[in-house]
Amino acid sequence: AISDHLAYLLAQANREINRQLESHLRKEGVPVEQWRILTILSDGKGHSMGELADAVLLNHPTLTKTIDRMVSDALVYRVQDPTDRRRVLMHLSDRGKVLAKRLTSLEQRQEDHIIRSYGDKSTSELKRLLESLIDSTN
Protein backbone atom coordinates (compact mmCIF):
# COMPACT_ATOMS: atom_id res chain seq x y z
CA ALA A 1 0.00 0.00 0.00
CA ILE A 2 1.13 3.53 -0.66
CA SER A 3 0.77 4.32 3.05
CA ASP A 4 3.70 1.97 3.69
CA HIS A 5 6.03 4.53 2.09
CA LEU A 6 7.71 7.16 4.26
CA ALA A 7 7.68 9.72 1.44
CA TYR A 8 3.91 9.38 1.11
CA LEU A 9 3.30 9.66 4.85
CA LEU A 10 5.48 12.77 5.10
CA ALA A 11 3.70 14.36 2.14
CA GLN A 12 0.28 13.51 3.60
CA ALA A 13 1.21 14.95 7.03
CA ASN A 14 2.64 18.07 5.37
CA ARG A 15 -0.50 18.52 3.31
CA GLU A 16 -2.81 18.23 6.32
CA ILE A 17 -0.79 20.55 8.56
CA ASN A 18 -0.43 23.11 5.75
CA ARG A 19 -4.16 22.90 5.02
CA GLN A 20 -4.94 23.73 8.64
CA LEU A 21 -2.34 26.50 8.74
CA GLU A 22 -3.61 27.97 5.46
CA SER A 23 -7.15 28.14 6.83
CA HIS A 24 -5.90 30.20 9.79
CA LEU A 25 -3.66 32.41 7.66
CA ARG A 26 -6.37 32.97 5.03
CA LYS A 27 -8.30 35.00 7.64
CA GLU A 28 -5.31 37.39 7.68
CA GLY A 29 -4.99 37.29 3.88
CA VAL A 30 -1.50 35.79 4.07
CA PRO A 31 -0.30 32.77 2.06
CA VAL A 32 1.83 30.17 3.88
CA GLU A 33 4.90 31.23 1.87
CA GLN A 34 4.60 34.82 3.12
CA TRP A 35 4.20 33.56 6.70
CA ARG A 36 7.45 31.60 6.31
CA ILE A 37 9.25 34.69 5.00
CA LEU A 38 7.90 36.88 7.81
CA THR A 39 8.94 34.25 10.36
CA ILE A 40 12.51 33.99 9.03
CA LEU A 41 12.90 37.78 8.83
CA SER A 42 11.57 38.17 12.39
CA ASP A 43 15.07 37.50 13.72
CA GLY A 44 15.97 41.04 12.60
CA LYS A 45 19.27 40.00 11.01
CA GLY A 46 18.41 40.62 7.37
CA HIS A 47 18.62 37.73 4.92
CA SER A 48 19.74 37.45 1.32
CA MET A 49 17.42 36.05 -1.32
CA GLY A 50 19.54 32.88 -1.46
CA GLU A 51 19.21 32.33 2.28
CA LEU A 52 15.46 32.98 2.12
CA ALA A 53 14.90 30.65 -0.84
CA ASP A 54 16.47 27.76 1.08
CA ALA A 55 14.77 28.60 4.38
CA VAL A 56 11.25 29.13 3.03
CA LEU A 57 11.33 26.24 0.53
CA LEU A 58 10.74 28.35 -2.61
CA ASN A 59 12.58 28.56 -5.91
CA HIS A 60 14.16 31.92 -6.75
CA PRO A 61 11.58 33.12 -9.33
CA THR A 62 8.65 32.37 -7.00
CA LEU A 63 10.48 33.96 -4.06
CA THR A 64 11.22 37.09 -6.10
CA LYS A 65 7.54 37.47 -7.06
CA THR A 66 6.47 36.92 -3.45
CA ILE A 67 9.02 39.42 -2.12
CA ASP A 68 8.00 41.99 -4.76
CA ARG A 69 4.39 41.63 -3.58
CA MET A 70 5.46 41.99 0.06
CA VAL A 71 7.51 45.11 -0.78
CA SER A 72 4.44 46.58 -2.53
CA ASP A 73 2.39 45.78 0.59
CA ALA A 74 5.05 47.54 2.74
CA LEU A 75 5.75 44.36 4.76
CA VAL A 76 9.43 44.03 3.84
CA TYR A 77 12.15 46.20 2.36
CA ARG A 78 15.47 45.67 0.60
CA VAL A 79 18.81 47.04 1.85
CA GLN A 80 22.20 46.73 0.23
CA ASP A 81 24.48 44.51 2.36
CA PRO A 82 27.03 46.86 3.98
CA THR A 83 29.73 44.17 3.87
CA ASP A 84 29.07 43.07 0.26
CA ARG A 85 27.60 45.69 -2.07
CA ARG A 86 26.55 42.97 -4.56
CA ARG A 87 24.14 41.40 -2.06
CA VAL A 88 20.71 42.68 -1.07
CA LEU A 89 19.30 41.87 2.36
CA MET A 90 15.61 41.64 3.15
CA HIS A 91 14.22 43.12 6.37
CA LEU A 92 10.79 43.39 7.97
CA SER A 93 9.16 46.81 8.01
CA ASP A 94 7.33 47.92 11.14
CA ARG A 95 4.10 46.82 9.47
CA GLY A 96 5.68 43.44 8.69
CA LYS A 97 6.78 43.04 12.33
CA VAL A 98 3.24 43.65 13.58
CA LEU A 99 1.83 41.13 11.10
CA ALA A 100 4.54 38.57 11.94
CA LYS A 101 3.66 38.79 15.65
CA ARG A 102 -0.04 38.32 14.91
CA LEU A 103 0.70 35.33 12.66
CA THR A 104 3.02 33.77 15.24
CA SER A 105 0.15 33.63 17.70
CA LEU A 106 -2.07 32.01 15.02
CA GLU A 107 0.61 29.43 14.25
CA GLN A 108 1.15 28.80 17.95
CA ARG A 109 -2.55 28.09 18.39
CA GLN A 110 -2.35 25.50 15.61
CA GLU A 111 0.72 23.90 17.19
CA ASP A 112 -1.01 23.91 20.58
CA HIS A 113 -3.93 22.07 18.97
CA ILE A 114 -1.52 19.46 17.57
CA ILE A 115 0.12 19.12 20.99
CA ARG A 116 -3.28 18.64 22.67
CA SER A 117 -4.28 16.04 20.06
CA TYR A 118 -0.97 14.21 19.77
CA GLY A 119 0.66 14.85 23.14
CA ASP A 120 3.53 17.12 24.13
CA LYS A 121 6.09 14.34 24.40
CA SER A 122 5.09 12.76 21.08
CA THR A 123 5.10 16.15 19.30
CA SER A 124 8.57 16.97 20.67
CA GLU A 125 9.83 13.54 19.64
CA LEU A 126 8.31 13.93 16.16
CA LYS A 127 10.05 17.29 15.72
CA ARG A 128 13.35 15.79 16.86
CA LEU A 129 12.98 12.81 14.50
CA LEU A 130 12.08 15.04 11.54
CA GLU A 131 15.04 17.36 12.22
CA SER A 132 17.31 14.31 12.42
CA LEU A 133 15.87 12.93 9.16
CA ILE A 134 16.39 16.29 7.41
CA ASP A 135 19.97 16.54 8.70
CA SER A 136 20.80 12.99 7.61
CA THR A 137 19.52 13.54 4.06
CA ASN A 138 21.47 16.78 3.52
**Is 76 exposed, middle or buried, given 0-12, 13-18 or 19+ CB atoms closer than 10 A?**
buried
Strand partners, 78: 90
CA angle 129, 54, 47 (to 5 degrees): 120
pLDDT digit string, tens, across residues 26-61: 888 899 999 999 999 999 999 999 999 989 989 999
Distance CA 61, CA 63 (A): 5
Residue of 18, 50, 17, 28 whose CA lies nearest to 96: 28
**Considering the entire predicted model, what is its pTM?**
0.84
pLDDT digits (tens, 9 = 90+) for 86-104: 899 999 999 999 999 999 8
